[in-house]
Chain A
Amino acid sequence: MSENIVVLMIGISTLLGAIGLMALIWAVKTGQFDDHSKFTDAVRHDNEDDLQDAAMMQAKKKAYKEKMKQERLEKERNYRPAD
């Protein structure tokens, strides 16, 4: 076995492992692991209804952001400093 193969093997496996680690760290940072029961129980609540629900919430958030942006634009347009 030449050295290059060994380097390649070690390198790639560690890299793949590191990607998994990064994903895990990201999950911890966004708080997905704070709740042990939700992690296991949420599987039960994963049907079409809940997906609709989640989609609706996302749509709501987007609509709100749009509204805010519009309001800010309006304000800037209507801004007339006092004479």
Chain B
Amino acid sequence: MAEVACTHCNLTFSEEIMITEKENDKTLSFCCKGCQGVYHLLNAEGLDTFYDKLGETTLHPASPQSDDLEKFDLEGFQNKYIRIDEDGLHEINLIIEGIHCSACVWLNEKVLHKTDGIMEASINYSTNKAKIIWDPNVLKLSRIIETIRSIGYNAYPYDPKLQEERATKTRRTYYTRILVAVFGSMNIMWLAVAHYAGYFSGIQQSFKDILNVAEFVLATPVLFYSGWIFFKGAYYGYKNHIVNMDTLVASGALSAYIYSIYAMLTQRGEVYFDSVVMIITFVLVGKYLEVLSKKHAVDTLDSLMGSTPTEVTTVKEGVKSLVSIENVIVGDVIELKPGEKVVIDGDITWGEGSFDESSLTGENEPVYKKQSDNILSGSLCLDSVIHYQATKDVSNSMLTSIVNLLEDSLSKKPRLEQLANTISGYFSTIILIIALLTFIGWYFWVESFEQALIVGISVIVIACPCALGLATPMATLVGISIAAKRGILFKEAALLETMAKSDVLALDKTGTITEGKPSVVKSDIKENFDPSLLHALVSTSNHPISKSIVTYLEEEYENLETLTLENIKSIEAKGLHANYKGQALIGGNEKLLQASNISVDANTENTLFFFAVDNLLIAKFELTDTIRKGAKEAIKNIQDLGIKVVMLTGDHEQSAKKVAAQVGITEVHAKLLPGDKAAIIEQFHEEGHVVVMAGDGINDTVALASSDIAIAMGNGADIAISVSDVVLLDEKPASIYESYKLSQRTYAAVKENLSFSLLYNVVAVPLAVMGFVTPLVAALSMSLSSLVVVGNSLRIKRLKFKNKE
């Protein structure tokens, strides 16, 4: 069985299943109709140079997309995502899925450019975000999405105003200021070389004046344009009676600057312009590094968010129409198809089926609902078509009220003060006091106003906030990038510190400690078992239990044949029924088999699935929610670090205790509603603990918002991700342990950096007080201290993780 690569997507498959074609003595093989279609489309459009550019990179096979294109043209959709500019053109931001390399970006841009009516299509190579401007009279948005899908990619819109725009703007402002600051510093430095040379070997006053003026001209924009950020921060601190680092930087730079102007004009003493710009540049770079890490996190999160449903199908007098959710009123009848998420609360009027309420309650057992039962927004309709009447409009539905609750609690979220801020607060005050005392002391001793001023200023200058300013950002940046490489996304640098200080970890059970999906743990197979039969039967259903049987069969058995069954019926809350060549197949729980008069043994705490052919029991499977791999070791490691681990769950006591015993957790709180979880965390707060909470569903979000650090699983509910501070992209419990270790190591590095800079000051300030500090010494010590801090932060990279899985 030779392996052959698909001509379009470059993935290799065995030769027999490929679709082959002959084209001018070339044999083309395709893995599926999708790839074949895209290949011919590209050739027809003259875009086959794509394959040269693609080279060896593999793509996803082009799969036909679901038929939801009309929603892109709805008014509600337009208001939310589309912007209209002054020429009347429409503009939208999309995230394009399936991009693997620059060739894919090139292809998408080319195809969009060729489409009539598209004025501009630019795609960002690194973030896969596309900005498209088009003429609404010529082209509709749904057509644009269709075009992108026709070449094998998918696109969905995101709202840039939420996070990205702000992050980009902040980054750009910082970047420009840094450019100006760096330009200023570099130029002043070569001027300063001349200055220092003159200091040692003598220089004519006239030349010194020229240099002074030149440095002044360069330093002014740096101080006022780039340093504006510090003045703002210092002003804010002054208004709130806080002395922070911005105060120190602003006062140090400003006083050095004013003194240097004085020295320049009176032609006495030395100018300190080079110190001024260096302070500004170094500390600004530190701040910029922090902003940079935030933007990166935001980019990744935007692509995780996906799209939330914004419209539903309503049935009015037999006519089905697609309506945006804001326009649905109480009493409207809504049609729900299998696999769709419920957006509006209501009562069932026609049909019955199972609903997955795991994102609300955490239980992965489907709940069966029939006529006149209430269904809640946030649950997922599993297996049948349902018509239900809305009892609340969208703004009052459960989902929206949870979201509102969240936004309220977000503002009350406790934030621990950073160590650096505390230290720099004291530090700044002390230095200012020392400078003042020095000035007074010298004035009385030497009776020369100028000299006293010089010495006083030099104290402030040498106190150099550079090292202090770089201490935290450098270390946290390195920490965050290491975490990102291991699939742990910290949204903000400061979180590393908070996490290092925590001593309690609260874990959600379903979806965090466990996989959240049932899987087969025991199988009891009697004679005549044909796996292909069962496989064909359970493949017809979307129920979590059926899906796990499918996975189990595919793992255990090879050569599963695809069989066509007839009379496929799914019986709600019981199972499946089908016929194959005259045999009657039944698969389901004990209730289904009892209905067919087959007696079974249903005595176990696990979920059961039976398979019977022609009323004869063939196989019995026991399923349970499995613990995630590595959970037990991770929890033990975390406990070894001295952190208390507790389990909070909405599930019942028995299953909670069972899982807790398996992973080694002693404190268990079960049967909790979302509000109860938050209450327990509040209790921990009152006892003085710093709480980290890990969860994945909507039922966890209120608790996540009230904890000090919230960790969300990458595949959890969108809301959980947006509320959390840390997102685990690969969902391994070991990552929680790694983030603990990483945050503690980074915090240690921050403390080392801070103590070094303090030590340096303890040595330097007395020197300044005694009058030994000259511009040369000041400048040198500044650079040196900053370099040491940077070097020490890079040491974090050497942190080794044991048991790398």
Contact = CB atoms under 8 A, between A and B. Distances in A.
Contact of B187 (A17, A35, A60): A17
A37 B210 CA distance: 44
Contacts of B327: none
Given A44-B53, A53-B113, A7 B210 contact: yes
B236 interface: no
A21 B214 CA distance: 17
Contact of B210 (A3, A18, A24): A3
B125 A35 contact: yes
B176 A25 contact: yes
Nearest to B295: A34
Nearest to A1: B207
B323 interface: no
B725 to A, nearest CB: 25
A51 interface: no
Nearest to A36: B126
B172 interface: yes
B179 A24 contact: yes
B124 interface: yes
A29 B176 contact: yes
Given A18-B183, A37-B102, 15 more contacts: A7-B210, A17-B183, A25-B176, A25-B180, A28-B176, A33-B175, A35-B124, A38-B102, A38-B105, A38-B126, A41-B125, A44-B102, A53-B110, A57-B113, A64-B135
B601 to A, nearest CB: 60
Interface in A18-77: 18, 21, 24-25, 28-29, 31, 33-38, 41-42, 44-45, 49, 53, 56-57, 60-61, 64-65, 68
B586 to A, nearest CB: 55
Nearest to B184: A21
A57 B120 CA distance: 7
B88 interface: yes
Given A3-B207, A36-B126, A45-B102, A29 B172 contact: yes
A40 B53 CA distance: 15
Nearest to B186: A17
A26 to B, nearest CB: 10
A17 B183 CA distance: 8
15 contacts: A7-B210, A14-B187, A14-B217, A35-B126, A36-B126, A38-B105, A38-B124, A41-B125, A44-B102, A49-B49, A53-B110, A53-B113, A57-B119, A61-B120, A64-B89
Contacts of A56: 113
A44 to B, nearest CB: 7
A49 B48 CA distance: 12
Given A35-B124, A35-B125, A64 B87 contact: yes
Contacts of A45: 53, 102, 106
A82 interface: no
A10 B213 CA distance: 11
A21 B179 contact: yes
A53 B183 CA distance: 37
Contacts of B172: 28-29, 31
B102 A34 contact: no
A37 B119 contact: no
B448 interface: no
A2 B29 CA distance: 79
B218 interface: yes
B209 to A, nearest CB: 8
Contacts of B180: 21, 25
Contact of B183 (A21, A33, A41, A61): A21
A35 B105 CA distance: 13
Contacts of A36: 125-126
Contacts of A65: 87
Interface of A: 3, 6-7, 10, 14, 17-18, 21, 24-25, 28-29, 31, 33-38, 41-42, 44-45, 49, 53, 56-57, 60-61, 64-65, 68
Contact of A34 (B53, B168, B206): B168
Nearest to B190: A13
Contacts of B126: 35-38
B56 to A, nearest CB: 15
B482 interface: no
Nearest to A68: B87
Given A37-B102, A44-B53, A10 B179 contact: no
Contact of B88 (A10, A34, A68): A68
Nearest to A20: B183
Contacts of A33: 175
Nearest to A53: B113
Interface in B191-236: 191, 206-207, 210-211, 214, 217-218
B119 A64 contact: yes
A38 B106 contact: no
B119 A61 contact: yes
A37 B172 CA distance: 18
Nearest to B88: A68
Contacts of B105: 38
B66 to A, nearest CB: 30
Contacts of A24: 179
Contacts of A14: 187, 214, 217-218
Interface string B373-405: 000000000000000000000000000000000
Given A28-B179, A29-B172, A37 B125 contact: yes
A57 B396 CA distance: 47
Contacts of B102: 37-38, 41-42, 44-45
A50 to B, nearest CB: 8
Contacts of A42: 102
A54 B211 CA distance: 48
A28 B87 contact: no
Contact of B206 (A3, A28, A38): A3
A45 B88 CA distance: 31
Nearest to A10: B214
Contacts of A57: 113, 119-120
Interface in B501-545: none
What 10 A-B pairs are tightest by C-beta distance, nearest first?
A37-B125, A41-B102, A38-B125, A35-B124, A21-B183, A37-B126, A10-B214, A3-B206, A25-B176, A6-B210
A36 B191 CA distance: 33
A42 B102 CA distance: 8
A19 to B, nearest CB: 11
Contacts of A44: 53, 102
Interface in B92-113: 102, 105-106, 110, 113
A37 B299 CA distance: 15
